[in-house]
Structures are given as C-alpha cells and as structure tokens.
Amino acid sequence: MVELGEKKMRGRQIANHLYKRFENSFNSMDDLPQAFRTLLESQYRVSPLHVARHLKSRDGVEKLLVHGGDEQVFECVLLPYSDRVSCCLSTQVGCPMGCTFCATGLGGFDRNLSVGEIIGQYLLLSALSIRPISHVVFMGMGEPLLNFGNLLKAIQLLHDEVGISHRRITVSTVGIAPQIRELAKLKLPIHLALSLHSPFDDIRSRLMPVNKKWSVAEIMGEMRNYQRATGRKITIEYLLIAGVNDSKEQALELARLVQGVPSVINLIPWNWVDTGNGFARPTREQVRAFRQILESRGANVTERTERGHDIAAACGQLAGQHQGKFAKRGTPLQVTT
C-alpha cells in the first residue's frame, strides 16, 4: 500500500475484506476510495482461483474443482457439521506419493500450490458457507509436507489473519520423516495425522511406496517425538481394506504401536474407486471386529464419518477428474455412489 502511495491502514482494510468478509472484488470494498478501488481492479485480482465445477452432496457437503488459470485442476471441500464447519484443502495439483488405494495418486502429479492458491481455497469455501469455517484440515490433494514452506505460510495466514486457532488446524501426512522432524522443532500446536494403513512393513510398502524409504518403526518414532515436542495428541489414520489390512494380527500390532502414546486411531472404511487393484470395502462386521480388538487393548478409537460420497468428496476419492502429466491411468476415474 505504501508503494502505491497509500496509507499503511489500507493494508489492514483490504485484509479485513479478504480474510473476514470474503469479498470477491475490490469494487465491493466500500470503505476504500472509489478511485483507489478502480486502480486495484485494473492491476490486481482478489482471488488467484477459477471455479471449474461446483458440486453439492445430498448431505450438505460442497466440493469445488478449481484451477489457477492453467487448467490444472485441484479440489477443496466444505464440510458442515451440527457443531462446527470444517474445510478440506489441497496443497498440490495431484499427488506424487502413488498410494495404490487413492484416486488422487493415480491422477499423477503436476506441481505444488502457491500460498495464494492454498488460502484461495479457504476463501472460496468461506464465501459459500452460511456459518463461519472453524476447522481446517490439509487432507485434500497432495502430500502437505512436500510443499512445506507454502504450507507453513498458509497456516500462518490462517492463524494470524483469518483467526483460526492452531489447535483447529490438522495436517495429514503419509510420513515424510525429515519434515515431521522440522515441524516438531517449530512446536506449533497443530494437529498431525499419520496415514498409516498397516503396522507391517511388507503390507504398507505394497499400499504406500513411501514406506520403502521410511519404515513403520522410523515414522512412528518421529510421530512420538512430535507428540512429545508439541504436547498434542497424534492421530493414526487407518484405511480398512477387506482382506488386506483388516486382520486380527494387524489390529493387535497397531494397538501395540500406539501403547503409551497420547493418540487416537481413526478408522476409515475404504471408499471405492476403480484403482485396478481389486480392493473391496470391508463389511460393517469386519470394521466392528477390528475396532473391538483395538479397544480391548486400550486404544482410543474413532470411526470417520462419511461425507460427500455421492460427489466423490470422501476420503481417497478426490481428483477423479484430475488427469496430470504423469497420470497412471488414461481416463478419469469412475466412482460408485
């Protein structure tokens, strides 16, 4: 603002319009002089994002397919609950991790998102929401810790400008050990969730190629260190796939892994997408049996509430429409509803 010959206070005024009122044009910022608004409209854009598609689920979930002008689409999701409103944000266009059960990884990877593109998702979803968004989860497309610098800047903006508590921000990772160590050093009281999906290296490596670089033992060690450094309970995300990772032996080993660590295991029945691997969703009885074993060993267990399944906005379903440069499939994924 000073470089434009304006007072410093203009910066705070514009920030208030962007981060509190979610204005989508400078012309609507009515406490700015008209001539200045005209100047801003001619030189700048409020949002870096274009909405390619807007879908609304029967259960109230809304999903936006957006891009930054390059047609490389990515997705964000608005998740209203009775007691809060959450949003799920992407950090990359596609995902480079190649998890065999996930639609996003099969769509290939193009690039990291800028800070503006990350925050832009939040602002677009906030403008849609009747109630204020209170919680942010980085569980959309991409591996957040591989876009570490921009992720941290986005978290800072959400905290400092938007006013969202660090304790209401969750970052989900497949387990990038060096960045978990760096995050622990910062001691931000954000919530860290690990996508584990098997306590056995051989099975996890088949499901998640990242395990070939950092084993279950190593990544769980980093999660324990993070918990000690921040004092925050860690979450272990566990996607249940019938006949693959839902055995009694895996439940017992998973309970052993978290013993003595302030944690919660979040069970997620696999949401079907055509990955070509023949995976199947477990029955309710299989999920219940797995959970009972964990709880009998003293583990704290929750089960992910399914939202947005009919618009492919549920866990693992994002990016059915994304077709990146390094896609592992020739056509967009089909998703059952």
* pLDDT by 10-residue block (mean), the chain, 337 residues: 90 94 91 93 90 90 91 91 95 92 81 95 95 96 97 97 97 97 97 98 96 98 97 96 96 97 95 77 94 97 71 49 46 36
Tell me, what's the pLDDT at 276?
A: 72
Same fold, 1-46 and 49-311: no
Tell me, what's the pLDDT at 24?
A: 86
CATH class of 1-46: mainly alpha
> What's the pLDDT tens digit per position in 21-59?
999 899 999 999 999 999 999 999 888 899 999 999 888
Tell me, what's the pLDDT at 4?
A: 85
Please state the pTM of the whole predicted model.
0.89
Name residue 149's beta-bridge partners. Answer: none
Catalytic residues: 75, 315
Question: DSSP letters along 172-235, please?
Answer: EES--HHHHHHHHHHT---EEEEE---SSHHHHHHH-GGGGTS-HHHHHHHHHHHHHHH-PPEE
CA distance 145 to 32: 38
Tell me, what's the pLDDT at 317?
A: 47
Tell me, what's the pLDDT at 90?
A: 96
Tell me, what's the pLDDT at 217?
A: 97
Q: Which CATH number applies to 49-311?
A: 3.20.20.70
For 76, the enclosing helix (H) or strand (E) is strand 74-80
Q: In this structure, what are the phi and psi dihedrals at residue 8, rounded to the nearest 5 degrees? A: -60, -30
- Residues 6 or more apart in contact with residue 86 via CB below 8 angstroms: 79, 80, 133, 134, 135, 136, 137
CA distance 238 to 76: 22
Q: Is 113 helix (H, G, I), strand (E, B) or coil?
A: coil
Tell me, what's the pLDDT at 316?
A: 45
Q: In this structure, what are the phi and psi dihedrals at residue 288, rounded to the nearest 5 degrees? A: -65, -40
Tell me, what's the pLDDT at 82?
A: 92
Domain parsing of the chain, residue ranges: 1-46, 49-311
Tell me, what's the pLDDT at 135?
A: 98
Dihedral angle sign, alpha carbons of residues 162, 157, 126, 60: negative
